[in-house]
Amino acid sequence: MIKTENLYKTFYGDNGENVNALVDVSTEIEQGEVVVVIGPSGSGKSTYLRCLNHLEVATKGHIWIDDVDILDQKTNINKVREEVGMVFQSFNLFPHKSVKENVNLAQRVVRKKTKNDAEIKTMELLEKVGISEKADMFPAQLSGGQQQRVAIARALAMHPKIMLFDEPTSALDPEMIGEVLDVMKSLAREGMTMVVVTHEMGFAKEVANRVIFMDQGAIVEEGTPEHFFKNPTHDRTKLFLSQIL
């Protein structure tokens, strides 16, 4: 489903100081798999996720989404992005549009659905994330957890094959994390292919098929949650786990 091969990403600083955000990252994610990416801040996990839908352009290497090489100049990246939903740490809901319009918009504009069709799908999704009664409100009137659930519904409205989550609960008050994780868990149970960058180890243990640990732009260790949390092999992984658990 997602295949990355020898992926490099370098940020070129103005003062000549370059940051190697990704160093030789190669991995493959199968359909229906839930992969959790963890690592200290600055380890390149968000950059990796953002490369997957071309929000960051990788410096070198290959990414195939559904056998389409997204780093190929000829690839229509908008078409690829329609199939890859993304949820951001800061929600990024459209503040000038109501909840319903937030979810409707891309269906209408990108998928060219009729207003009626879009609305039916929208209400179905808002029902699913448990927020249908707020359909006519504006993002600023919702709590963080509610906003993030709308953002998930907005991404799902495009019928994506893959969902990317970039620290979806990091900006939330502690008591709101659960409601967002619940939505993500139910999504995982339905067989959605998911790549999740998170600090929620509970979620990783419970839902992930595989955990990838990154440090300094490289994949240090990957494996099942059991392997990862019970007997990690690398010292760096052990150190990280000892610091956060």
Partner 1 sequence: MKTSSGLSRVNPLTYNLSMAGFIIGVIASMSLFVVATKAIDYTWRWYKIPSYFYGTTSYDVKADIQGTLESIVTKDKKTLIIVKGINDSEEYSLPESGNMLVSVGDNIYPGDIMAQYKKTGIGLLTKGILVTLEVSIYASIFGIIIGIIGGIMRISANPALKWTSIVYIELIRGSPLLVQIFIWYFVFAAIINGMLTSMGIHEISALWYGIAALSFFAGAYVTEIVRAGIESINIGQIEASRSLGMSSAQCMYHIVLPQALRRILPPLAGQFISLIKDSSLLGIIAVRELTKATREGITTSLQPYEFWFVCAILYLILTFTLSMFVQYLERRMETP
Which residues lie near partner 1 (CB under 8 A)? 53, 55, 78-79, 81-82, 84-86, 88, 90, 92-96, 105-106, 109-110, 137-138, 140-141, 151, 154-155, 158
Nearer to partner 1 among residue 4 and residue 237 (C-beta): 4
CA distances from 203 to 152, 154, 214, 239, 241 (A): 17, 22, 17, 20, 15
In the complex, the smallest distance separating the C-beta of residue 153 from partner 1, rounded to whole angstroms, is 12
Q: What does the alpha-carbon distance between residue 237 and residue 38 come to, in Å, rounded to a whole number?
A: 10
d(CA 184, CA 127): 14
Q: State which amino acid sits at residue 148.
A: Q
CB atoms closer than 10 angstroms to residue 191: 11
DSSP 160: -
Least Cβ distance, residue 221 to partner 1 (angstroms) = 29
Least separation, in Å, of the C-beta of 201 and partner 1? Answer: 26
Residue 166 or 215: the one with the smaller Cβ distance to partner 1 is: 166
State in angstroms the smallest separation of the CB of 182 from partner 1.
Answer: 22
Nearer to partner 1 (CB atom), residue 194 or residue 211: 194
**Closer of 54 and 210 to partner 1 (Cβ):** 54
204 touches 211 (CB < 8 A): yes
